[in-house]
Structure 1
Amino acid sequence: MPTSKVRELLDNGSYEEAKEVAERALQDNPNNALLHYYAAWSCDGLSLETSAIPYYEKALELGLPDADLADAYIGLGSTYRAIGNYEKASETFNKARTAFPDNKAITVFASMALYNSQNYKEAMQLAIQIIGETSNDPDIIAYKKAILNYAHDLDAVWD
């Protein structure tokens, strides 16, 4: 099956070959969401960001299993961010955060896109929240409650 072959190539970092196999397989299976996603992934691995976008978009349109959907959102959002389309990156990450609210990686990528969009406060809030929620560092853990409290309103002052 072409999808398993392409996935194996991607997992081994053989992006050029993965791209070729995926594109050939898409000629016979143009509505295979997984092949579109794998083609996008291979393009990203080859630093062909603008070529990856239509593949990501088609994969999302056709529908991916949840196991691949979160990664496809991250890939598309990161690709938009990498080419400077911060608005589309933020839109993509917002959709992803709605679909996968517990996926911390999506939130971190969303914070980067917000930063690039000059939404510094919201970007910092998300990043600080993730640090507070996920850090295993003993010094962070000691201040976890305060960090999470401050993350909600970085501009607040107390008398």
Structure 2
Amino acid sequence: MKTPEILALLESGQYQNAKDSAEKALLSEPDNALLNYYAAWSCDGLSIENDAIPYYEKALELGLPKTDLADAYIGLGSTYRAIGNYEKAGETFQKALAAFPENQALAVFASMALYNDRNYKEAMQLAIKIIGETSNDPNIIAYKKAILNYSEDLDAVWD
């Protein structure tokens, strides 16, 4: 089965079929980054996170197309977070944010990993910044400058 067919299975939620197809294809193409990524994605969809990690790591190591790279970082970081490896999750999201600084989804996941790693202030600051930068809510927009200013240091006090 070719990668477009496996992608279609993933997108339609047929994770077991996608996993079986990706793993079968990997037998003849073990260094195919997309196949490794699709195998990882299918494992996540099946809630077998520990099985997903080596596939994500290999996909990233081999080099994914830029169109899939941010999603693979989200997948790997979220998987680390889901199994309680908050340090690795944080490292993954920081690396991803260095490569994709404008990707707000990565920033949201990074905020969750910071929270889980008990970096509450940094997590909250990042979350507030994301809200201030991306919200279309007119009430948020009205206070955007203040929200972004306060997000820089939640403990700041002005006399």
The one-letter amino acid of 2:41's match is W
TM-score, normalised relative to structure 2:
0.99
User: Structure 2: where are the runs of 5+ without partners?
Assistant: none
Report the number of matched residues: 159
The corresponding residue for 1:32 is: 32
Cα deviation for residue 46 of structure 1 reads 0.3
The corresponding residue for 1:106 is: 106
The corresponding residue for 1:131 is: 131
User: What is the distance in 2 between the residues matched to 1:116 and 1:11?
Assistant: 29
The corresponding residue for 2:145 is: 145
Cα deviation for residue 5 of structure 1 reads 1.1
The one-letter amino acid of 1:46's match is L
Cα deviation for residue 112 of structure 1 reads 0.2
Cα deviation for residue 80 of structure 1 reads 0.2
Q: What whole-Å deviation, never above 9, does each CA across 1:100-159 have from its counterpart, x for those lacking one?
A: 000000000000000000000100111000000000001101100000000001000011
User: What is the distance in 1 between the residues matched to 2:150 and 2:57?
Assistant: 37
Q: Over aligned residue pairs, what C-alpha RMSD do you find? A: 0.6
Calculate percent identity across the aligned residue pairs: 76
User: What is the distance in 1 between the residues matched to 2:113 and 2:140?
Assistant: 25
The one-letter amino acid of 2:135's match is S
The corresponding residue for 1:119 is: 119
User: What is the distance in 2 between the residues matched to 1:155 and 1:46?
Assistant: 42
User: Structure 1: where are the runs of 5+ without partners?
Assistant: none
1:5 aligns with 2:2: no
TM-score, normalised relative to structure 1:
0.99
User: What is the distance in 2 between the residues matched to 1:4 and 1:149?
Assistant: 45
User: What is the distance in 1 between the residues matched to 2:86 and 2:4?
Assistant: 33
